[in-house]
Amino acid sequence: MHILVVDDEPIIRKGVKMILSRKGHTVDSAEDIHIAKQKLEKNKYDLLIVDFLMPGGSGLDLVHEVRQFYPGIFSVLISGFATAKTNITSIQAGVFDFLPKPFSNSELLSLIARIERRFAFTKEELRTISNTRLYLGEHAWVEKSDSSEICQVGIDRRFVHSLGTATEFIKEDGIKMITQGNRFLTVRDECGLEHGIWAPVSGAYRSWNDAVIKTLTDGNLDLLDEEPWILEILTSQWNEDKKYLKSSEER
C-alpha cells in the first residue's frame, strides 16, 4: 500500500515509516496538515494515518476532506489523548479505526493487516445480515427491541473477514459496566496479533453467550459469518449511544 503518515512528532513519523516500510509498503510523511494536503494532491494513497491533534488543524478535519475529495483512501486516527468518546466520534466520521498512543509494533501491524484484507473484500463479504441491527463502524453490531432496555451485541462480519483466521476470543472479564467505544472483546489471529472490538453501546454486562464463544474458540469459525450475538447488555444511555450508530443502509 501507499501510505501517508501525518504527525507533528518526528519519532512517530520515523517509527511508523520504518515498521511499515519493512513490510513492503511505500510510506510518505508530513509534519502538518498543510504539507499533508500538498502530498495528497500530488500522490495517490491507499491509507492515511493522521494524528488527532495537529498544528494548523485537526486530524479529523483532514479525514473529512479526504472522504470528500479522495473517497478511495482509508483513514486511521492516532492520538495520545484517546477516550471512548474520541473513538466513536472518529468512527462516525468515517475513520476505519482509531489507534491510541503509545501503540506497539504489533498493534500497528494488526491494524494494517486488517486494512489490507479489507481492500480485497468481495460483495458477499460486504453483505449485511440484518436490517434491524445498528453498527459501530466495522467493529460490532447491536440489536434492541423497543419494549426492552436489554440488547444483544455481536461482532460485525466485516471485522471477522478482515482478520484472516481467528484463533482465540478473549472476554473482558471482571468488568461490570461497559462504555460505548471501549473494548469488550479481543480476538487473536493466526499470526498471534490481537484485535480489539469496541462496544457499540454503554451499559451493564448481563450475560455472555459462552456456548458461541466456545464454538468459535474450538475452531468453528463459519458461525461468525451469521453474526451470532456474543454479549447481552442492559443499556444505560440508548438514545445518546444511538447517535453514533449506523443502520445497514447508511454504511
**Domain segments of the chain as ranges:** 2-119, 123-247
Per CATH, 2-119 and 123-247 having the same topology is answered: no
CATH of domain 123-247: 2.40.50.100
CATH architecture of 2-119: 3-Layer(aba) Sandwich (3.40)
Integer angstrom CA distances of residue 30 from 5, 56, 58, 94: 6, 12, 14, 21
Task: Give the pLDDT score at 125.
Answer: 60
Closest CA to 230 of 160, 131, 145, 161: 160
Q: Which residues of the chain have pLDDT under 50?
A: none
Decide: residue 239, CB within 10 A, 0-12 exposed, 13-18 middle, 19+ buried: exposed
Task: Give the pLDDT score at 185.
Answer: 92
Task: Give the pLDDT score at 123.
Answer: 61
Task: Give the pLDDT score at 27.
Answer: 98
Task: Give the pLDDT score at 124.
Answer: 60
Phi-psi region of 171 (alpha: psi -120 to 50; beta: other; left: phi over 0): beta
